[in-house]
Structures are given as structure tokens and as C-alpha cells.
Amino acid sequence: MHKHYLVTAANGGLTVKSVGLDALPAAAWTPILGADEGGGSALDLYERIPWLYRGVNLRADAIAGLPTSWETLDGAPLDTPPKLPFALDLAHLLNLIEGWLALYGAAYLFKGMNAARRVKQVHPLHPRTVTPVYEGERGLVGYERQVGGERIALGLDEVIAIWLPARRAELGYGVPPVRAALSAAGMLQAADLFGEQYFQHGAVMPTLISIEGMPSPADMEKLESWAGRAMSGLRNAFRPLALRAPVKVQPLAGNVELGKLALPELTDKKREDIATALGVPHSLLFSNAANYATARQDDLHFYDKTIVPEARRIEAALNAGLFERHGVRLRFRPDRLEIYQSLEAQKADRVTALFSAKIISKDEARQLMGI
């Protein structure tokens, strides 16, 4: 049985001790993560920007909602799901995996095994708490789980790592889609904060207040007091001000139309950038498809170009790391979705028409239909 090592800080040094699986602290399985530093990370912007939030959830829900089937290692289909020695909420697990892949480019599952090397539990590990461990020419040798001040060493055979392909390195995970959308999401957040600050300050733009001549200290005090009241809200903006010298009030940003506070040209472009980075057709996020045919085509592109390739990546990792050791394989079946079945029906009609016109033979028709 693989040993787990708990590393803790004590007396200015590190203490390493071997512990059993059951002795690991509860925090090792249920970490509570705060906001990332800086407020501009993938997770923070996901929680703040509606378009980013919706796009990530669309991907996660689509993966979790794909039809699935089970088969034996020799490809024989199973009529019912296999009886596995661990609890498995597949839809929830797939949703977590895809959400983490979109946000972090990596997802991890812990396999708790007994002395006979049989998996007795499968537990998701948040990517922010897991670090791959490399050793020179050996490459990847394990993982480290860190929660608070505690670090737990995990072996290669205990962790299923699902990584997006790396483009800058030979090892490790690649750039998550959300990171490619961070710049656009950050600009949307800035636009939202601008509007929020505008109304919090009484719908008053940054303003320059000047007074002619050499005002007396009493007049300056009156002016500062009035300006403070005026800038604090609309109810105070029109209170009278009695001064001997003329006062000039000039908004630095000019007159602001409420409809332009959100910077529509900029925000529309950045929303499209977010959708593009996530591989989600714009019409799925914005509900602005020109017609039914366009919406159907966008749905098809979403599954063909984004969801199905991602599903195959997840499927391969889960089968190799978990299901095949129990004699079964998981298969995603996008062909069972209504959109693909509709395409097959249209294809069958065209093939039938070709056969009826004696353009193709029966065998050719069967071949075209994959029979």
C-alpha cells in the first residue's frame, strides 16, 4: 500500500511523517479557498464577470450532459452501468473536471486504494492545491497536495491528472481557455467598476472646481464644504453656495449619457473575445442568432469544435487511470444527441434519394450510412 507523507512546519523547520489514508486531516479533502491575490485571476473574474461565468458553465454543463455508454475492454457493449467498488456521481464529476480544465488547464482526481490495490474511493482535488513534482531526467514523479500549512505527498498511481496540451514546454499542462480571456474579462470588470463608482458618487463625474482671484480662507472653507456635499450625492448637489468670488465648475469627462456608461462598443468586442477564447459560439452567450438555422449551426459547431474533443480527452484519461483497471471503459456518445441524430436523418434521406434514382447501389448506400 502506498504510504502518504504529511509535511508540517514546526520550530522553524519541516516535519515529515508517514500517515495512513484514514489519518489524513479533514482539510486535506475539503479545503476552503479564498480569493486569489490581486483580484484579477481566472477564478476571481469567473465569479465576477457574467459572460465569463456563463461561458465556463456552458462548457461544464455540456460535458456533464453528454450521453455515455459502457463497454468491456474488448469493445462489447454493456446493457447496464458496471458495478464499481467506489461511489461515482459521473455527471457531477465531469462538470467539476471541465470547469477546472477551463479555469486552470488541469484537473486532478485522487484514487484511494486498499492493500489489494483496489480503488475504494475517487475524490476530486482542486487544482490550486495540487503541484506536480519533477525530478531531473525522471520527469514527473508524483504530486504534492497543499492545504494551509500542510503538504501531503501523493504517488503517480494515486492521482489521475487531466491536462490540456502544453505548448511552451514538454511537461505539464497547457494554457486554460479562461486565461486567454483574462484581458477581455478584466476590461469588462473595469467598465463595471466605472459605472458602479459613478453611481456610488452620486452620478457625478470627476470635476474641477476653481474660484477666481484670491479668496479668503473663509470662502475656501465654504467652497470645500459645498464641494464635499455636492460630490456625495444628487440630493446635496443643488444646495445654495454664497461666495463673493465667482466659482467655475467643470466636469473633467464632459457630459455622460447613461447609455454610454457601459462603453457598448468596447464591451461588445470584449464579450466576443471571451466567447472566442472559450470556444463558445457568440449566439449561445448572447441569444442573438439571426434565425433557427443559424442557432442550430452554432450548436453543432459548439459540440464539434469544442465539446467533443474535450470529452475525448477526459474519456481517455478516466479510462486509462481508473476504469480500465476494473475491466470496463467509459464512452461518450455525442451521436445520441438530438442535433446529431437530426443530421443522420437528413443524411439518410439524401442517401435514399440517391439509391432510388439508381445513382448508387444498395451496398454503397449502406457504406455511406456506416452500416
Higher per-residue pLDDT: 149 or 19? 149
pLDDT at res. 158: 93
Last residue of a domain, one of 221, 255, 289: 255
Q: Quick one: 18 and 130 in the same domain?
A: yes
- Point out the least confidently predicted range of 23-32, 214-223, 347-356: 23-32
Q: Please tell me which of 111-115, 284-288, 350-354 the model is most confident about, judged by mean pLDDT.
A: 111-115
- Average confidence score pLDDT of the chain: 77
Averaged pLDDT for residues 259-279: 67
Q: Quick one: 166 and 250 in the same domain?
A: no
Q: Is residue 58 part of a domain?
A: no
Q: Quick one: 129 and 224 in the same domain?
A: no
Q: Is residue 231 part of a domain?
A: yes
pLDDT at res. 327: 95
- Point out the least confidently predicted range of 65-69, 291-295, 311-315: 291-295
Q: Quick one: 238 and 149 in the same domain?
A: no
- Separation between Cα atoms, residue 371 and residue 364, nearest integer Å: 10
**Tally of domains within the chain:** 3
pLDDT at res. 73: 96
Q: Quick one: 116 and 232 in the same domain?
A: no
- Separation between Cα atoms, residue 219 and residue 226, nearest integer Å: 10
What are the tens digits of pLDDT across the range 347-369? 787 878 887 888 888 888 788 77
pLDDT at res. 40: 53
SS3 127: helix
Q: Please tell me which of 137-146, 258-267, 271-280, 282-291 the model is most confident about, judged by mean pLDDT.
A: 137-146
Last residue of a domain, one of 222, 255, 288: 255
Three-class SS of 173-188: CCCCHHHHCHHHHHHH
Q: Residue 132 is part of which domain span?
A: 4-30+106-174
Per-residue pLDDT band for 29 (boundaries 50, 70, 90) equals: low
Q: Is residue 92 part of a domain?
A: no
Per 3-state DSSP, what percentage of the chain is helix, strand, and coil (rounded to 5)? 50, 20, 30
Higher per-residue pLDDT: 91 or 216? 91
Q: Is residue 263 part of a domain?
A: no
Q: Quick one: 130 and 243 in the same domain?
A: no
Residue of 357, 164, 198, 159 lying closest to 277 (CA atoms): 164
Per-residue pLDDT band for 118 (boundaries 50, 70, 90) equals: confident
- Separation between Cα atoms, residue 106 and residue 212, nearest integer Å: 63
Averaged pLDDT for residues 302-331: 96
Q: Is residue 326 part of a domain?
A: no
Residue of 327, 336, 334 lying closest to 312 (CA atoms): 334
pLDDT at res. 342: 81
Q: Quick one: 121 and 25 in the same domain?
A: yes
Percent of the chain at pLDDT above 90? 36
Q: Is residue 280 part of a domain?
A: no
Q: Please tell me which of 49-63, 239-253, 318-332 the model is most confident about, judged by mean pLDDT.
A: 318-332
Averaged pLDDT for residues 29-44: 59
pLDDT at res. 32: 53
What are the tens digits of pLDDT across the range 98-110? 999 999 999 999 9
Per-residue pLDDT band for 90 (boundaries 50, 70, 90) equals: very high
For 151, residues 6+ apart whose C-beta sits below 8 A from its C-beta are 6, 7, 8, 144, 145
* Dihedral in degrees, nearest 10, Cα atoms 310, 313, 319, 320: -160
Q: Quick one: 361 and 214 in the same domain?
A: no
Q: Is residue 308 part of a domain?
A: no
pLDDT at res. 105: 94
Higher per-residue pLDDT: 45 or 227? 45
What are the tens digits of pLDDT across the range 229-246? 655 554 444 444 444 556
- pLDDT at residue 140 is higher than 90: yes
Place of cell 470662502: 219
Q: Quick one: 234 and 140 in the same domain?
A: no
What are the tens digits of pLDDT across the range 163-201? 999 988 888 899 898 887 776 555 455 545 555 554 454
Q: Which residue pairs, CB below 8 angstroms and at least 24 apart, start in 302-306?
A: 302/62, 303/62, 303/334, 303/337, 303/339, 303/340, 305/279, 306/59, 306/278, 306/279, 306/280
Last residue of a domain, one of 230, 255, 280: 255
Higher per-residue pLDDT: 241 or 70? 70
Q: Is residue 21 part of a domain?
A: yes
Angle between helical axes of 264-278 and 50-64 (0-180°, round to 10): 20
Q: Which residues pair with 110 in a beta bridge?
A: 123, 159
Per-residue pLDDT band for 14 (boundaries 50, 70, 90) equals: very low
201 DSSP 8-state letter: T
